[in-house]
Amino acid sequence: MKKIVLLTLALLALLPAAAQSNIENARKAAEKARLATEDPKGAAKAASWTNFGKKMLEAYNAPVKEFANVQYKVQLSDLGLKPKRTEVMQLEGTSVEKLSFENANLYFSAQSGQLLFTEVKNKAYDDALEQAFGAYKKAYELDPKKGKEIAEAYKNISKKFQDEATLYYYMQKLDKASYNFEQSALVSAEPPLSQLDTMALFNASVAARLAGDNAKAKDILNKCLSFGYDSEGKVYSALFYVTDAELAQATTAADSLALRQEAKGYLEQGIAKYPLNQEIVINLINQKIQMQEDPEEIFGLFAKAKEQDPKNASLYAVEADVRAKLGMKEQAIAGYRKSVEVDPKYAYGFYCIGKFYYDEAMAIYDTAQREDDNKKYEELVNQYMDALVQCVDPFESFFNISDDKNNKDVAAQYLKIVCYNLYSAYSRQDNEALGNKYKELNKKYADYLKGE
């Protein structure tokens, strides 16, 4: 038994040296492959370049070769891998265990023990993925018949860039995250793979924007458009935001005006393709108001859409949403009511009516709590109760019409709260009939939520 223990300890002692040997051997193999591409005869052969690309990928993997099959923390002890240090940390609100080794840090979910990220500390090359990509690209130029092999290599390289980007994003190294997301997307778009990872490209712009590099974010977003990707209007909205953010750096009135016009232009491009995108519509209306232009023309888009499809309840609701967000309450509630008039089975319309009056009730309640005059306070209480009463029928319609359990649960939660408050209020006024009515409704929806 002692001999076995001593042998195990000896193997553990050799692990760091073996890991360093992996890196050095991989580097030597990569340099040997590079020499073949620098020789005139070798440089003319696609095989020389694919071999160089392969060796570069092996060099990229070398520092973490010993962790290649690790998916869960418990596997480390089975492989005889012992960290130098363990610490618990928070990443994006998630509890994570960081295990430090000679050449890498491994991040595991503190709850499930699953491997989340691997951070390489001692790289064979800082640009191994870039060099591998360049090598395979050259191979494809020399021999397009190798397309299948090279496309698979691109998938691998793109994923590795994606993994690095995700790690950097969670580590709040946003400039590096943006770079790697963009590289992942560009590799995936390259022939013969030609499968642009649009989400990676968009994420590159998000990371750049969060890093404060609006110029880079804008450049990447324009690349999205050049590839024909607009994420149903999100790219236009993002271009508006980064251009609007540049206003802070404008030094002259002329520069400010030019940036406002540019920002508005992105929204106008977006609304031409997605006339009912709420985010674009609201931002464009606000932009026009700031620039002292008439915003009403935007609502003309809704008018035209309703003329073409007058029975489309969602058109009335979407316009009402926009008006509500702009503080146009009367027009908003009229729009919501019209949506359910057009389609009595339109559940979202009933939800919006209920939510509108619920929010009104809460606003009145807050005002009442600050009122010292008893007469005014009583008037506000009556207004509060009236608004709550207005919630009940639409929320019940939303509950009854909805097939989706989540929708029913939302409706029941509101009705439970509203009916309890009405029961309490009418009981204090000694209105037994109405008090009992809302007491029963409160119990009905409370029992539903309990599964009874």
Contacts for 406 with CB less than 8 Å, ≥ 6 apart = none
Across the range 143-153, mean pLDDT stands at: 96
Residue 6 pLDDT more than 50?
no
Average pLDDT of the chain to the nearest whole number: 89
Number of other CB atoms surrounding residue 180 within 10 Å: 26
Model confidence over 86-109: pLDDT tens digits? 999 888 778 999 999 989 999 999
Model confidence over 362-415: pLDDT tens digits? 999 999 999 888 899 999 989 999 999 999 999 999 999 999 999 999 999 999
Of 55, 75, 61, 156, nearest to 115 by C-alpha is 75
Model confidence over 352-368: pLDDT tens digits? 999 999 999 999 999 99
Peptide bond into 192 cis (omega under 30): yes
pLDDT at residue 17, rounded to an integer: 53
Beta strands 115-120 and 104-109 are: antiparallel
Q: Are 354 and 394 in contact (CB under 8 A)?
A: yes
pLDDT at residue 185, rounded to an integer: 96
Q: Are 339 and 316 in contact (CB under 8 A)?
A: yes
Across the range 260-286, mean pLDDT stands at: 86
Whole-number percent of the chain with pLDDT over 90:
68
Across the range 322-332, mean pLDDT stands at: 88
Residue 16 pLDDT more than 80?
no
CA distance 364 to 371: 11
- Domain ranges for the chain: 345-452
CA 147, 152, 155, 158 torsion-angle sign: negative
Across the range 332-342, mean pLDDT stands at: 94
Across the range 318-326, mean pLDDT stands at: 85
